Chain A
Amino acid sequence: MVENDELERLRSVKNLYEADLMQKANVVGVGIGLRQRAGELTDEPVIVVSVLQKEPAGNIDAKDVIPTELDGVPVDVQAVGRLKAF
Protein backbone atom coordinates (compact mmCIF):
# COMPACT_ATOMS: atom_id res chain seq x y z
CA MET A 1 0.00 0.00 0.00
CA VAL A 2 1.47 3.34 -1.08
CA GLU A 3 1.24 6.15 1.50
CA ASN A 4 -0.90 9.15 0.63
CA ASP A 5 1.92 11.62 1.25
CA GLU A 6 4.06 9.79 -1.24
CA LEU A 7 1.26 9.78 -3.81
CA GLU A 8 0.78 13.51 -3.32
CA ARG A 9 4.46 14.14 -3.96
CA LEU A 10 4.39 11.98 -7.10
CA ARG A 11 1.27 13.79 -8.26
CA SER A 12 2.75 17.24 -7.91
CA VAL A 13 5.95 16.27 -9.75
CA LYS A 14 3.91 14.50 -12.45
CA ASN A 15 1.72 17.59 -12.96
CA LEU A 16 4.82 19.75 -13.30
CA TYR A 17 6.44 17.62 -16.05
CA GLU A 18 3.47 16.00 -17.75
CA ALA A 19 3.07 18.42 -20.66
CA ASP A 20 6.79 18.20 -21.42
CA LEU A 21 6.81 14.39 -21.28
CA MET A 22 3.71 14.04 -23.47
CA GLN A 23 5.47 15.99 -26.23
CA LYS A 24 8.33 13.54 -26.54
CA ALA A 25 8.36 11.16 -29.49
CA ASN A 26 6.73 7.77 -28.76
CA VAL A 27 5.08 8.87 -25.50
CA VAL A 28 1.34 8.11 -25.20
CA GLY A 29 0.75 8.47 -21.49
CA VAL A 30 2.00 9.72 -18.14
CA GLY A 31 0.68 8.42 -14.83
CA ILE A 32 1.46 7.32 -11.32
CA GLY A 33 2.13 3.64 -10.97
CA LEU A 34 4.32 0.83 -9.76
CA ARG A 35 7.68 0.07 -11.31
CA GLN A 36 7.75 -3.06 -13.46
CA ARG A 37 10.78 -5.33 -13.57
CA ALA A 38 10.91 -8.04 -16.23
CA GLY A 39 7.19 -7.60 -16.72
CA GLU A 40 6.38 -8.07 -13.03
CA LEU A 41 4.88 -5.36 -10.83
CA THR A 42 7.09 -4.28 -7.92
CA ASP A 43 5.76 -2.21 -5.01
CA GLU A 44 7.87 0.86 -5.83
CA PRO A 45 5.73 3.92 -6.63
CA VAL A 46 7.04 5.82 -9.66
CA ILE A 47 5.99 8.15 -12.44
CA VAL A 48 5.18 5.85 -15.35
CA VAL A 49 5.77 7.08 -18.88
CA SER A 50 3.92 4.85 -21.36
CA VAL A 51 5.49 4.58 -24.81
CA LEU A 52 4.52 2.90 -28.08
CA GLN A 53 7.66 0.77 -27.96
CA LYS A 54 11.02 0.92 -26.25
CA GLU A 55 13.94 2.20 -28.30
CA PRO A 56 17.67 1.96 -27.58
CA ALA A 57 18.86 5.31 -26.20
CA GLY A 58 21.14 5.67 -29.24
CA ASN A 59 18.13 5.91 -31.55
CA ILE A 60 16.46 8.73 -29.65
CA ASP A 61 16.92 12.47 -30.19
CA ALA A 62 18.33 14.16 -27.10
CA LYS A 63 15.11 16.16 -26.70
CA ASP A 64 13.04 12.95 -26.68
CA VAL A 65 15.05 11.05 -24.05
CA ILE A 66 12.99 10.33 -20.95
CA PRO A 67 14.85 11.09 -17.71
CA THR A 68 15.20 8.24 -15.18
CA GLU A 69 14.12 10.58 -12.41
CA LEU A 70 12.41 13.95 -12.02
CA ASP A 71 12.99 16.07 -8.91
CA GLY A 72 14.05 12.92 -7.08
CA VAL A 73 11.02 10.90 -8.18
CA PRO A 74 11.93 7.75 -10.13
CA VAL A 75 10.54 7.38 -13.65
CA ASP A 76 9.73 4.00 -15.25
CA VAL A 77 9.23 3.72 -19.01
CA GLN A 78 6.71 1.04 -19.98
CA ALA A 79 5.83 -0.10 -23.50
CA VAL A 80 2.05 -0.28 -24.05
CA GLY A 81 1.69 -0.13 -27.83
CA ARG A 82 -1.03 1.96 -29.47
CA LEU A 83 -3.94 2.47 -27.09
CA LYS A 84 -7.21 2.18 -28.93
CA ALA A 85 -10.79 2.82 -27.96
CA PHE A 86 -12.30 -0.60 -28.48
Chain B
Amino acid sequence: MLPYIARRLLWSVFLLLVITFLTYLIFYKLPSADPALLRAGRQPTPELVASIRETLGLDKPWYTQYFLYMQKLVLHFDFGESFQNNVKVRDELFDRLPATMSLALGGAVVWLVAGIGIGIISAVFRGTLLDRFAMTGALIAISAPVYWLGLVSIYLFSRDLGVIAPIFDATGLYIPPQENPIQWADKLLLPWLVLATAYAAVYARFLRSNLVEVLGEDYIRTARAKGLGERRVIFRHGVRSAVTPIVTLFGIDIGVLFGGAILTETVFNIPGVGRLAFDSIQKSDLPIVQGTVLIASLAIVLANLVVDIAYAFIDPRVRY
Protein backbone atom coordinates (compact mmCIF):
# COMPACT_ATOMS: atom_id res chain seq x y z
CA MET B 1 0.00 0.00 0.00
CA LEU B 2 2.69 2.40 1.04
CA PRO B 3 4.76 2.07 -2.13
CA TYR B 4 1.61 2.79 -4.08
CA ILE B 5 0.98 5.97 -2.19
CA ALA B 6 4.60 6.97 -2.50
CA ARG B 7 4.53 6.42 -6.23
CA ARG B 8 1.37 8.41 -6.69
CA LEU B 9 2.74 11.23 -4.56
CA LEU B 10 5.90 11.41 -6.59
CA TRP B 11 3.97 11.39 -9.81
CA SER B 12 1.75 14.18 -8.54
CA VAL B 13 4.73 16.37 -7.79
CA PHE B 14 6.12 15.70 -11.23
CA LEU B 15 2.76 16.51 -12.77
CA LEU B 16 2.74 19.86 -11.05
CA LEU B 17 6.21 20.62 -12.30
CA VAL B 18 5.22 19.85 -15.85
CA ILE B 19 2.15 21.99 -15.49
CA THR B 20 4.06 25.01 -14.23
CA PHE B 21 6.39 24.61 -17.14
CA LEU B 22 3.61 24.42 -19.68
CA THR B 23 1.83 27.32 -18.08
CA TYR B 24 4.95 29.40 -18.27
CA LEU B 25 5.31 28.57 -21.94
CA ILE B 26 1.73 29.30 -22.87
CA PHE B 27 1.21 32.47 -20.94
CA TYR B 28 4.65 33.77 -21.61
CA LYS B 29 3.98 33.58 -25.28
CA LEU B 30 0.72 35.34 -24.77
CA PRO B 31 0.85 38.58 -26.74
CA SER B 32 -0.71 40.53 -23.98
CA ALA B 33 0.05 43.76 -22.21
CA ASP B 34 3.66 44.61 -21.67
CA PRO B 35 4.09 44.94 -17.91
CA ALA B 36 7.09 47.19 -18.20
CA LEU B 37 5.20 49.64 -20.35
CA LEU B 38 2.24 49.54 -18.03
CA ARG B 39 4.38 50.70 -15.16
CA ALA B 40 6.31 53.18 -17.16
CA GLY B 41 3.74 55.90 -17.39
CA ARG B 42 2.19 57.84 -20.16
CA GLN B 43 5.09 59.02 -22.23
CA PRO B 44 7.99 56.84 -21.24
CA THR B 45 11.41 57.21 -22.65
CA PRO B 46 12.91 54.03 -24.04
CA GLU B 47 15.48 54.15 -21.25
CA LEU B 48 12.81 54.15 -18.60
CA VAL B 49 11.08 51.19 -20.14
CA ALA B 50 14.33 49.29 -20.44
CA SER B 51 15.13 50.07 -16.84
CA ILE B 52 11.80 48.79 -15.60
CA ARG B 53 12.10 45.74 -17.73
CA GLU B 54 15.40 44.97 -16.09
CA THR B 55 14.01 45.51 -12.63
CA LEU B 56 11.21 43.07 -13.31
CA GLY B 57 13.61 40.59 -14.81
CA LEU B 58 11.80 40.59 -18.10
CA ASP B 59 14.88 41.05 -20.20
CA LYS B 60 16.13 37.58 -19.44
CA PRO B 61 15.27 34.64 -21.69
CA TRP B 62 12.14 32.80 -20.71
CA TYR B 63 13.83 29.68 -19.46
CA THR B 64 15.99 31.72 -17.11
CA GLN B 65 12.90 33.48 -15.86
CA TYR B 66 11.24 30.12 -15.40
CA PHE B 67 14.17 28.72 -13.49
CA LEU B 68 14.32 31.73 -11.19
CA TYR B 69 10.62 31.47 -10.62
CA MET B 70 10.79 27.79 -9.70
CA GLN B 71 13.74 28.43 -7.45
CA LYS B 72 11.83 31.02 -5.49
CA LEU B 73 8.81 28.81 -5.37
CA VAL B 74 10.42 25.64 -4.18
CA LEU B 75 12.93 27.12 -1.78
CA HIS B 76 10.93 29.94 -0.26
CA PHE B 77 7.34 29.15 -1.12
CA ASP B 78 7.42 32.52 -2.80
CA PHE B 79 5.16 32.91 -5.79
CA GLY B 80 6.67 36.19 -6.81
CA GLU B 81 5.06 39.58 -7.12
CA SER B 82 2.34 40.83 -9.38
CA PHE B 83 3.48 42.74 -12.42
CA GLN B 84 0.75 45.25 -11.89
CA ASN B 85 1.22 46.41 -8.35
CA ASN B 86 3.97 44.44 -6.67
CA VAL B 87 1.60 42.57 -4.40
CA LYS B 88 2.93 39.26 -3.23
CA VAL B 89 1.17 36.65 -5.31
CA ARG B 90 1.03 34.26 -2.40
CA ASP B 91 -0.87 36.82 -0.35
CA GLU B 92 -3.28 37.49 -3.16
CA LEU B 93 -3.94 33.80 -3.63
CA PHE B 94 -4.48 33.06 0.02
CA ASP B 95 -6.67 36.10 0.36
CA ARG B 96 -8.92 34.83 -2.35
CA LEU B 97 -8.97 31.16 -1.47
CA PRO B 98 -11.50 31.44 1.37
CA ALA B 99 -14.09 32.92 -0.95
CA THR B 100 -13.64 30.17 -3.51
CA MET B 101 -13.61 27.47 -0.87
CA SER B 102 -16.71 28.88 0.76
CA LEU B 103 -18.44 28.90 -2.58
CA ALA B 104 -17.33 25.39 -3.47
CA LEU B 105 -18.03 23.78 -0.11
CA GLY B 106 -21.37 25.45 0.39
CA GLY B 107 -22.41 24.55 -3.10
CA ALA B 108 -21.18 21.02 -2.52
CA VAL B 109 -23.33 20.60 0.55
CA VAL B 110 -26.37 21.77 -1.37
CA TRP B 111 -25.78 19.60 -4.38
CA LEU B 112 -24.93 16.53 -2.39
CA VAL B 113 -28.05 16.78 -0.33
CA ALA B 114 -30.24 17.68 -3.27
CA GLY B 115 -28.59 15.35 -5.74
CA ILE B 116 -28.44 12.29 -3.58
CA GLY B 117 -31.85 12.95 -2.13
CA ILE B 118 -33.51 13.36 -5.48
CA GLY B 119 -31.58 10.45 -6.89
CA ILE B 120 -32.77 8.12 -4.18
CA ILE B 121 -36.36 9.27 -4.40
CA SER B 122 -36.39 8.95 -8.16
CA ALA B 123 -34.92 5.49 -8.04
CA VAL B 124 -37.30 4.28 -5.39
CA PHE B 125 -40.33 5.74 -7.11
CA ARG B 126 -39.05 4.76 -10.50
CA GLY B 127 -41.45 5.30 -13.35
CA THR B 128 -43.87 7.52 -11.47
CA LEU B 129 -44.71 11.09 -12.33
CA LEU B 130 -42.44 12.26 -9.56
CA ASP B 131 -39.54 10.43 -11.08
CA ARG B 132 -40.17 11.78 -14.55
CA PHE B 133 -40.61 15.28 -13.24
CA ALA B 134 -37.40 15.12 -11.27
CA MET B 135 -35.38 13.65 -14.11
CA THR B 136 -36.73 16.13 -16.62
CA GLY B 137 -35.88 18.94 -14.26
CA ALA B 138 -32.42 17.50 -13.85
CA LEU B 139 -31.94 17.35 -17.58
CA ILE B 140 -32.92 20.97 -17.98
CA ALA B 141 -30.63 21.95 -15.16
CA ILE B 142 -27.66 20.35 -16.89
CA SER B 143 -28.49 22.01 -20.15
CA ALA B 144 -28.51 25.59 -18.97
CA PRO B 145 -25.26 27.53 -18.83
CA VAL B 146 -24.48 28.34 -15.23
CA TYR B 147 -23.82 32.01 -15.86
CA TRP B 148 -27.12 32.41 -17.64
CA LEU B 149 -28.90 30.73 -14.76
CA GLY B 150 -27.05 33.09 -12.48
CA LEU B 151 -28.10 36.17 -14.42
CA VAL B 152 -31.69 35.04 -14.68
CA SER B 153 -31.87 34.26 -10.98
CA ILE B 154 -30.38 37.64 -10.13
CA TYR B 155 -32.92 39.29 -12.36
CA LEU B 156 -35.78 37.39 -10.78
CA PHE B 157 -34.79 36.98 -7.16
CA SER B 158 -32.17 39.43 -6.04
CA ARG B 159 -32.95 42.03 -3.44
CA ASP B 160 -31.77 44.84 -5.65
CA LEU B 161 -33.58 43.88 -8.74
CA GLY B 162 -35.81 40.91 -8.06
CA VAL B 163 -38.57 41.21 -10.59
CA ILE B 164 -40.47 38.32 -9.08
CA ALA B 165 -39.37 38.29 -5.47
CA PRO B 166 -36.52 40.16 -3.78
CA ILE B 167 -35.08 37.40 -1.69
CA PHE B 168 -31.37 36.99 -2.15
CA ASP B 169 -28.45 39.28 -1.71
CA ALA B 170 -26.67 39.30 -5.02
CA THR B 171 -24.24 42.14 -4.55
CA GLY B 172 -21.28 39.84 -4.45
CA LEU B 173 -18.17 40.58 -2.43
CA TYR B 174 -17.24 38.31 0.37
CA ILE B 175 -17.53 38.57 4.12
CA PRO B 176 -15.45 35.99 5.99
CA PRO B 177 -17.50 33.76 8.26
CA GLN B 178 -15.44 34.69 11.30
CA GLU B 179 -16.36 38.32 10.75
CA ASN B 180 -20.07 37.89 10.30
CA PRO B 181 -21.37 34.37 9.68
CA ILE B 182 -24.88 35.46 8.83
CA GLN B 183 -23.80 37.91 6.19
CA TRP B 184 -21.30 35.38 4.90
CA ALA B 185 -24.05 32.87 4.24
CA ASP B 186 -26.50 35.50 3.08
CA LYS B 187 -24.21 36.69 0.33
CA LEU B 188 -23.34 33.19 -0.79
CA LEU B 189 -26.81 31.71 -0.72
CA LEU B 190 -27.83 32.47 -4.29
CA PRO B 191 -24.43 31.56 -5.74
CA TRP B 192 -24.58 28.25 -3.86
CA LEU B 193 -27.97 27.47 -5.29
CA VAL B 194 -27.02 28.36 -8.82
CA LEU B 195 -23.69 26.54 -8.70
CA ALA B 196 -25.29 23.49 -7.15
CA THR B 197 -28.06 23.24 -9.70
CA ALA B 198 -26.14 21.62 -12.52
CA TYR B 199 -24.10 19.40 -10.22
CA ALA B 200 -27.15 18.27 -8.27
CA ALA B 201 -28.77 17.28 -11.51
CA VAL B 202 -25.77 15.23 -12.59
CA TYR B 203 -25.53 13.51 -9.25
CA ALA B 204 -29.24 12.85 -9.14
CA ARG B 205 -29.18 11.18 -12.52
CA PHE B 206 -26.05 9.26 -11.74
CA LEU B 207 -27.26 8.01 -8.40
CA ARG B 208 -30.65 7.13 -9.77
CA SER B 209 -29.30 4.92 -12.50
CA ASN B 210 -26.77 3.30 -10.21
CA LEU B 211 -29.33 2.71 -7.53
CA VAL B 212 -31.86 1.30 -9.94
CA GLU B 213 -29.22 -1.09 -11.16
CA VAL B 214 -28.16 -2.10 -7.68
CA LEU B 215 -31.71 -2.53 -6.51
CA GLY B 216 -32.19 -5.04 -9.31
CA GLU B 217 -29.34 -7.20 -8.09
CA ASP B 218 -29.86 -10.62 -6.63
CA TYR B 219 -28.58 -9.85 -3.18
CA ILE B 220 -31.17 -7.16 -2.79
CA ARG B 221 -33.87 -9.64 -3.63
CA THR B 222 -32.38 -11.94 -1.05
CA ALA B 223 -32.42 -9.19 1.55
CA ARG B 224 -36.04 -8.46 0.80
CA ALA B 225 -36.88 -12.15 0.90
CA LYS B 226 -35.22 -12.32 4.29
CA GLY B 227 -37.84 -9.88 5.47
CA LEU B 228 -35.69 -6.77 5.90
CA GLY B 229 -37.65 -3.53 5.97
CA GLU B 230 -37.70 -1.67 2.65
CA ARG B 231 -35.96 1.36 4.13
CA ARG B 232 -33.15 -0.79 5.39
CA VAL B 233 -32.86 -2.46 2.05
CA ILE B 234 -32.65 0.81 0.22
CA PHE B 235 -30.28 2.60 2.52
CA ARG B 236 -28.14 -0.07 4.10
CA HIS B 237 -27.62 -2.09 0.99
CA GLY B 238 -28.69 -0.18 -2.03
CA VAL B 239 -27.40 3.28 -1.47
CA ARG B 240 -24.19 2.12 0.08
CA SER B 241 -23.02 0.39 -3.07
CA ALA B 242 -24.53 2.89 -5.44
CA VAL B 243 -22.81 5.77 -3.73
CA THR B 244 -19.20 4.69 -4.19
CA PRO B 245 -18.69 6.00 -7.73
CA ILE B 246 -20.28 9.24 -6.61
CA VAL B 247 -17.51 9.68 -4.10
CA THR B 248 -14.98 9.55 -6.93
CA LEU B 249 -16.95 12.04 -8.94
CA PHE B 250 -17.34 14.30 -5.96
CA GLY B 251 -13.65 14.30 -5.20
CA ILE B 252 -12.83 15.37 -8.71
CA ASP B 253 -15.58 17.97 -8.90
CA ILE B 254 -14.52 19.59 -5.66
CA GLY B 255 -10.93 19.52 -6.78
CA VAL B 256 -11.81 21.37 -9.94
CA LEU B 257 -13.96 23.89 -8.12
CA PHE B 258 -11.29 24.68 -5.57
CA GLY B 259 -9.25 25.96 -8.44
CA GLY B 260 -11.89 28.56 -8.93
CA ALA B 261 -15.39 28.53 -10.32
CA ILE B 262 -14.65 31.26 -12.83
CA LEU B 263 -18.10 31.50 -14.32
CA THR B 264 -20.02 31.64 -11.07
CA GLU B 265 -17.55 34.00 -9.48
CA THR B 266 -17.77 36.34 -12.43
CA VAL B 267 -21.52 36.50 -12.52
CA PHE B 268 -21.95 36.96 -8.78
CA ASN B 269 -19.00 39.25 -8.28
CA ILE B 270 -17.30 36.98 -5.77
CA PRO B 271 -13.61 37.76 -5.27
CA GLY B 272 -12.33 34.23 -5.55
CA VAL B 273 -9.37 32.54 -7.16
CA GLY B 274 -11.23 31.90 -10.40
CA ARG B 275 -12.01 35.54 -10.88
CA LEU B 276 -8.42 36.39 -10.07
CA ALA B 277 -7.22 33.95 -12.71
CA PHE B 278 -9.45 35.45 -15.32
CA ASP B 279 -8.56 39.04 -14.51
CA SER B 280 -4.88 38.34 -14.49
CA ILE B 281 -5.02 36.57 -17.85
CA GLN B 282 -6.68 39.68 -19.18
CA LYS B 283 -3.96 41.87 -17.81
CA SER B 284 -1.20 39.46 -18.69
CA ASP B 285 -0.01 39.50 -15.10
CA LEU B 286 2.06 36.40 -15.49
CA PRO B 287 3.07 35.74 -11.87
CA ILE B 288 -0.53 35.77 -10.76
CA VAL B 289 -1.61 33.63 -13.68
CA GLN B 290 1.06 31.12 -12.79
CA GLY B 291 -0.05 31.16 -9.18
CA THR B 292 -3.70 30.60 -9.93
CA VAL B 293 -3.05 27.83 -12.43
CA LEU B 294 -0.76 26.18 -9.93
CA ILE B 295 -3.36 26.33 -7.20
CA ALA B 296 -6.03 25.01 -9.51
CA SER B 297 -3.84 22.17 -10.72
CA LEU B 298 -2.79 21.41 -7.19
CA ALA B 299 -6.40 21.10 -6.19
CA ILE B 300 -7.17 18.79 -9.07
CA VAL B 301 -4.08 16.65 -8.56
CA LEU B 302 -4.67 16.41 -4.82
CA ALA B 303 -8.27 15.49 -5.33
CA ASN B 304 -7.32 12.81 -7.82
CA LEU B 305 -4.68 11.52 -5.45
CA VAL B 306 -7.07 11.30 -2.53
CA VAL B 307 -9.68 9.59 -4.64
CA ASP B 308 -7.18 7.13 -6.07
CA ILE B 309 -5.81 6.25 -2.67
CA ALA B 310 -9.28 5.85 -1.25
CA TYR B 311 -10.09 3.55 -4.13
CA ALA B 312 -6.91 1.60 -3.55
CA PHE B 313 -8.06 0.98 -0.04
CA ILE B 314 -11.40 -0.23 -1.22
CA ASP B 315 -10.34 -2.21 -4.26
CA PRO B 316 -6.92 -3.86 -4.03
CA ARG B 317 -6.92 -4.67 -7.73
CA VAL B 318 -6.39 -1.08 -8.56
CA ARG B 319 -2.86 -0.81 -7.25
CA TYR B 320 -0.60 -1.34 -10.19
Indicate, yes or no, whether A interacts with B.
Answer: no
